[in-house]
């Protein structure tokens, strides 16, 4: 088992970092939050052009994957730069469709996902009432109990969605999926595919949360170096150093868990990574808020873009309690 990225993987990360740094992602995120998806769609195309979305798509459908390690590394960068859009949901949707072994459906959706021409949202049971960014998505995939006549799940392409609702993170646009729409798969295979897609969603959400936490820490360190009190930078105070050190330790503890989960893709490993990264990012947000003197909550400061992501990412695709239960379930000895 190798926990350190290869030189090729590091070069991919640097390339994605440079792309996102040049894209002015805070401005793109603010436009997305205001309901203008055009700059976000342009950025989406550039992200896809770098190969990120193809990492979730099998080679048979014009992808290069599935490559969970590279995807996890990419999502750390997407979190660091606050890239908007249903990136997690699109990856999970690609995994779900690929796992169904429905060639016609896969041919219909997966090449578009890999190229960046098709933006998905996905809603599955147990993830709350809302779908993410359905108003900007080209397809809204919904998994539910279909017509209710059977015990199994059905996958349908929803015909629409309800009004957009406010979220803790303004960049996350929430709406209730509409009823009806074409049922494209049903039966036991759907439930198995949803479990697989959920593991992938948790993995890349964990990586995204790690990136958000790193961004918050970087900006907070820069702030305490320049803000002075009593004639000295506040970063020189011991209490501030300890708070930042605790934040760094939590994030660096989560990083190998994310890498390890990407290697094994075991449900318990993924849940552990999601818990650690989500909690570390949320702790980083609390530290950033305190050390910025609460000014981070103001909309004018870009820090708010990351600050408001931390808690929703911690709870998305499995709350900490749900993920801890999954860890315990995966660690329990098999019953005879």
**Dihedral in degrees, nearest 10, Cα atoms 151, 155, 159, 161:** 80
Please report the pLDDT score of residue 193 as a whole number. Answer: 95
What confidence tens digit (pLDDT) does each residue in 63-72 have? Answer: 998 999 999 9
pTM: 0.94
Give the angle 224-303-199 at the CA atoms, nearest 5°: 115
Please report the pLDDT score of residue 300 as a whole number. Answer: 85
Using 50 as the pLDDT threshold, list the residues of the chain that sit under it. 1, 336
Please report the pLDDT score of residue 147 as a whole number. Answer: 64
Give the angle 226-231-235 at the CA atoms, nearest 5°: 40
The residues that bridge with 161 in the sheet, in sequence order, are 177
Please report the pLDDT score of residue 148 as a whole number. Answer: 57
Please report the pLDDT score of residue 336 as a whole number. Answer: 43
Q: Spelled out in words, what is the top-level CATH class assigned to the domain 197-331?
A: mainly alpha
Between CA 171 and CA 29 the distance in angstroms is 6
Place of tokens 């170096």: 225
CB 308 within 8 A of CB 169: yes
Please report the pLDDT score of residue 304 as a whole number. Answer: 93
Structure tokens given for 58? 């099998």
Domain residues of the chain, as ranges?
Answer: 197-331
DSSP strands (E only) in the chain: 120-123, 131-132, 139-144, 154-157, 174-175, 182-186, 228-229, 232-233
Please report the pLDDT score of residue 263 as a whole number. Answer: 94
CB 53 within 8 A of CB 67: no
């Amino acid at each position: 088992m190798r926990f350190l990225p290869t030189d090729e993987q590091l070069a991919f990360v640097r390339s994605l970092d440079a792309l996102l740094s040049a894209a002015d992602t805070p401005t793109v995120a603010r436009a997305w939050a205001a309901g203008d998806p055009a700059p976000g769609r342009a950025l989406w195309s550039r992200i896809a052009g770098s190969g990120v979305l193809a990492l979730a798509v099998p080679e048979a459908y014009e992808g290069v994957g599935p490559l969970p390690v590279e995807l996890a590394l990419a999502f750390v960068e997407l979190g660091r730069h606050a890239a908007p859009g249903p990136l997690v949901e699109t990856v999970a949707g690609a995994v779900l469709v690929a796992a169904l072994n429905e060639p016609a459906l896969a041919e219909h959706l997966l090449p578009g996902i890999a190229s960046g021409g098709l933006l998905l949202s996905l809603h599955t049971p147990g993830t709350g009432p809302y779908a993410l960014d359905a108003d900007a998505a080209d397809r809204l995939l919904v998994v539910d109990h279909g017509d209710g006549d059977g015990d199994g799940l059905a996958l349908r392409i929803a015909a629409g969605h309800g009004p957009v609702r406010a979220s803790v993170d303004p960049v996350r646009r929430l709406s209730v999926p509409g009823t009806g729409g074409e049922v494209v798969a049903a039966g036991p295979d759907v439930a198995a595919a949803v479990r697989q897609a959920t593991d992938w969603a948790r993995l890349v959400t964990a990586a995204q949360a790690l990136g958000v936490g790193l961004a918050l820490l970087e900006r907070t360190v820069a702030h305490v170096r320049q803000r002075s009190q009593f004639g000295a930078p506040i970063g020189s105070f011991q209490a501030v150093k300890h708070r930042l050190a605790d934040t760094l330790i939590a994030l660096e503890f989560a990083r190998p868990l994310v890498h390890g989960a990407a290697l094994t893709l075991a449900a318990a490993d993924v849940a552990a990574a999601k818990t650690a990264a989500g909690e570390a990012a949320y702790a980083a947000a609390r530290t950033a808020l305190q050390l910025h003197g609460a000014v981070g909550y103001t909309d004018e400061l870009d820090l708010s873009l990351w600050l408001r992501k931390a808690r929703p990412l911690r709870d998305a695709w499995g709350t900490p309690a749900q993920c801890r239960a999954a860890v315990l379930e995966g660690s329990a000895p098999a019953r005879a």
